[in-house]
Structures are given as C-alpha cells and as structure tokens.
Chains A and B, each alone.
Chain A
Amino acid sequence: MKKIINKTEDIVSEMIAGLVKTNPKLVKQIEGTTAVVRNDVKFSQTKQVGVVSGGGSGHEPLHAGYVGDGMLSAAVAGEVFTSPTPDQIYEAIKAVDQGLGVLLIVKNYSGDVMNFDMAKEMAEADDIKIETIVVDDDISVENSEFTQGKRGVAGTVLVEKIVGAAARSGMNLADLAALGQKVIDNTKTIGIALQAATVPAVGHPSFELKDDEVEYGIGIHNERGYSVEKIKPSKELAHQLIEKIIQEFSDQTGKFVVLVNGMGGTPLMEQYIFANDVLNELADKKIQVAFSKVGNKVTSLDMQGVSLTIMKAEDSWIDMLEEPVNTIGW
C-alpha cells in the first residue's frame, strides 16, 4: 500500500486540519472534535434550521465539503468508513442550533443510524428539536426486512443540496424533514467498481477483481455487489445501469436529475464519457433531464468506478439544485 499519509490513526484529524486551514472563510473545526461548522459571516447573522450530516471518512468531499451557506450547517467526520461517535454529532448539533431545530441527514448504515440516534437523544435532553432523515438510495440491494435496508450512497449529496437550499429559504424543521424524505423516495442509485478501495488500516483492496472484470451494485465501503461481469464499453455500461434504475420509476414523464459520481480512483475524463452515454440514452428514451452533475462527489477512497443516480424531481427541486452555493465540494 502506498498512501500520502503519516500515521493511519491520524488520518482523519490531519485531513480535517488541512481542510479547515485551506478554507478558513468557509469552515472551522468544532474544538475537540473532527466536526466542521460554517464559518461564513452570514451564518451568525441569519437564523435558519440547522442541517447536520456526517458519516465515516473516505467519501470526501462528502460531508465536510458540503458545509456552507445553502447546504450543510455542519458535518461530522468519523474514522475511515466508520460512523462518527454520538458526542461529536451532539457537539455539531449544539454548534448549529439557532432555536429553530436541527435536521440530521443520515446514510442508512446500522452504525450511522445508531450513533445519530444516540446524539439525537442527547440533544433532545437539551430541548433541541431534532428530526432525522435516512438516505437509502442504493437500489442494488433489496429493501427487505431481512437486511438493514437499502444503503445510502451518492444520492445523499443531492438530498443535502436540496434540503440545504430549502433551509436557507427559511423552511421549518417539520417541512424540511418531509421534503428530504420525498427527495430520498425519488432518488435511485447503482454503483459499479473496476477495483475495490484500499482501507489504510487494512493495507490492501478488500476484494479482487480481474483486469477485465467489473462488479455491479457495489456500496461505498467495499460492500460486494450483485454480479461480476466482463468490462464493456461505456455505452453498454450506461445502458445496463439505466435499464435497472429507470424501472424503479413508474412514471417516466416530468423532469429528471442525473448524477454521475466518481468513486475516487476513476479519472474525470472517463466520468464525462460515461455521462455522455447516459444522457444520450436517456434522450433516446425521451426522458427529460433538467439537471445533471458529474464528478467525485461521494467517493470511496481510491475505488475505481462510478455510480449513476437518477432522481425524479419536482420543478422547485431543480431550482434548489441550481441555486449557487459556496462550499468546497458542490
């Protein structure tokens, strides 16, 4: 394993230190934690519902890269691929609550759900109003009662953008939670990997794929997918993923949003090629794409691969996605 790091146990604290030092106008670190909070002038001058997210590290720019006016109020970074702890989440909640309550955006993993739950209990004991929405956009896993349910993956960034914009516009806590849930329900993602990620503390990729193999349905923590096949031209990969995702939408009229997300180790060049194929195929299918985005938004360390997210959107969501925002990563 070759990584530009010092000690593996210092990865998260040093990453946060670097992120804060290079973006002092946008974010500051909450003392004694690996959480960051908005540091722009407007933050202390304008009241709004706080929006806090967080999760394991290794998905940058998620979540700290999305802290800023119009998106997240604070983000909590856990260890690599490991949920942050309740005390840290609680500190982030306290740092952003302006008396209007705080919305927690949690990706659907048992660890994240439990730690955010404990933090919610701590904050409620302080009379801070809390609502939680759990993102579960990954349709590659069955949403059955016999599993944790679908995972929260790249669609999370779209949820954070829309909810963040609505919070900035003054929406109240209950309405924000309802909006967030509606966005989640209309957001579907599948990821593919050409190579698994190497967790620094482990030192080697978590699973092996041959040079000519691609795995469908992987998660953002090296969770295995539903099938391994021979690699195909981008056009065919796009076709396969679209076919699988689009059947999730019973009504294919109206406006759609597309996110082509790089997993960390795939060049933007390839992401744009794939995005071109996705948009061409959707145009052929007469599916109207009103907003699209390409880039490394929700990564999985150095995993090679992409994920495709398609969202059926209301007009107001498109506006909220298009609103300018000042963050490190959007």
Chain B
Amino acid sequence: MELSLADTKKWIELFVQKVESEKSQLNELDTAIGDGDHGTNMDRGMKAITDAFSKKEPEDIVSLHKTVAFALIQKVGGASGPLYGTAFLDMSKKAKDDADLTTLIQTGLAGLKRRGQSDVGMKTMIDVWEPVANALKADEFNQSVIDEALTSNKALVATKGRASYLEEKSKGHLDPGAQSSAYLFEALLTVLGA
C-alpha cells in the first residue's frame, strides 16, 4: 500500500504536533536513563520540519522524506539526529523506485540498524520500529502493536547508547527514543484511520 503525498505529509505533521506537545515527557524519560534532552532535541527538529515545509511544499514522497531527513540531521544532533535522519534519508532513496509503505518502514528500520550498529532487544527505538514493520507486513498494524513494543522495551536492559552504562538500572525505564518512535507510528495509525 502506498500513502498519498497528502497523507504522508499529514503523518509527519501529526508526529510534529505530538512531539511538540510531549516534549517535557520525552525529556523526563531521558533524564531517567540518559541526559535529559531528547524532547528538546527532537522539538528543534520538529520546528525545522515545519519551517522546511512552509518554505517549500514537498512535490512528491521522495522529496518529502528527504526534507524531513535533512531537517532532522541538521537540527537534532545527539544520537537521535543521525538515527531518525538516516531512516528518513534511506526511505527517501527507496521511495524513488518503491514507495510501498511497508517497504519504506522496513528500509528505515534497516537504516537505523546500520547507523546505530544495533538490533532489536538493545533497548532502543528499534524495539518499536521492528514490530511495527513486521505488523505492517502481516497487515496487523494497530495500537496494541505499539503498546506491546513499549511494554517490552521498558523491561529490557539497555546494551546500546548512553543508557547502556546503567546496565541493570536501565530496567523498568522506557527508552525515550522508543517513545518518540511510538509517537511517529501513532501518528501513522491516525492517518491510516485505524
């Protein structure tokens, strides 16, 4: 299934709204197991996306994903900037020959794994992206997929990123990147009307 340009844009705009309204929540999650700025950093990226959209209306899905990628790469910083940025940049490249939604999400997931040299189960955003990609493929994508992904992420011990220094102490805390990824896919659910 391909998302239309209008729906893709709506998806990103809903994500932007969600991150902006949950900025402090993301900072709080990051304070527990990181350095407390995930919300602030993502929020800066969200403003850059809104700016970029208002300066130049994306003409197609390829340029839309690229616009999102560049805004995030240039404005977010930290680990989230290159991770989200790489995911959207890879999705943009893929969309040139295949804009199927499932394919794009899988491509983004592969980009995350490459850039972060990580995999599912390390208490990162991948713990949300992978189940969502799988559910899309099986045509079973719904809110409970996201909820379950977050629940299992919370129980994990971090083995990647800054939270990994906490080892066992990271258990019981939700990874902030997993939460922002959940917002991304909740926005997608809204667009899909599910």
Contact = CB atoms under 8 A, between A and B. Distances in A.
A147 B162 CA distance: 8
Nearest to B122: A146
Contacts of A297: none
A187 B22 CA distance: 41
A118 B73 contact: yes
A114 B27 contact: no
Contact of A79 (B41, B79, B116): B41
The 3 closest A-B pairs by CB, nearest first: A111-B79, A147-B164, A114-B82
B74 A87 contact: yes
Contacts of B74: 85, 87
Contacts of B40: 79, 201
A221 B77 contact: no
A84 B160 CA distance: 20
B82 A86 contact: yes
B134 to A, nearest CB: 25
A202 B73 contact: no
B37 A82 contact: yes
Given A118-B73, A202-B27, A148 B165 contact: yes
B35 A224 contact: no
A145 B71 CA distance: 32
A117 B115 CA distance: 9
Contacts of A85: 73-77, 81
10 contacts: A84-B77, A85-B76, A115-B81, A118-B73, A141-B165, A146-B164, A201-B36, A202-B31, A202-B36, A202-B37
Contacts of A195: none
Given A111-B77, A147-B165, A151-B165, A80 B37 contact: yes
Contacts of B162: 109-110, 148, 221, 223
Nearest to A78: B77
A195 B73 CA distance: 33
Interface centre among A114, A118, A151, A224, by most B CB within 10 Å?
A114
A146 B166 CA distance: 11
Contacts of B166: 224
Name the prevailing secondary structure of the B interface residues: helix
B41 A82 contact: yes
Interface string B52-79: 0000000000000000000001111111
A201 B27 contact: yes
A292 B143 CA distance: 58
Interface in B20-61: 27, 31, 35-37, 40-41, 44
B159 interface: yes
A222 interface: yes
A202 to B, nearest CB: 5
Interface in A86-121: 86-87, 109-111, 114-115, 117-118
Interface residues of A, number: 33
B172 interface: no
A23 interface: no
Interface of A: 9, 56, 78-87, 109-111, 114-115, 117-118, 141, 146-148, 151, 199, 201-202, 206, 219, 221-224
A86 B78 CA distance: 10
B165 A81 contact: no
B42 to A, nearest CB: 11
A84 B79 CA distance: 10
A201 B116 CA distance: 26
A66 to B, nearest CB: 20
B148 interface: no
Interface centre among A141, A147, A222, A224, by most B CB within 10 Å?
A147
A105 B161 CA distance: 19
Contacts of A82: 35, 37, 41, 77-78
A93 B27 CA distance: 32
A223 B37 CA distance: 13
Contact of B79 (A83, A146, A151, A222): A83
A199 B160 contact: no
A118 B82 contact: yes
B167 interface: yes
Contacts of A147: 159, 164-165, 167
Contacts of B27: 201-202
A114 B115 contact: yes
B77 A83 contact: yes
B72 to A, nearest CB: 9
B112 to A, nearest CB: 11
B44 to A, nearest CB: 8
B83 interface: yes
B82 A115 contact: yes
A18 to B, nearest CB: 21
A223 B164 CA distance: 10
A83 B36 contact: no
A131 B155 CA distance: 39
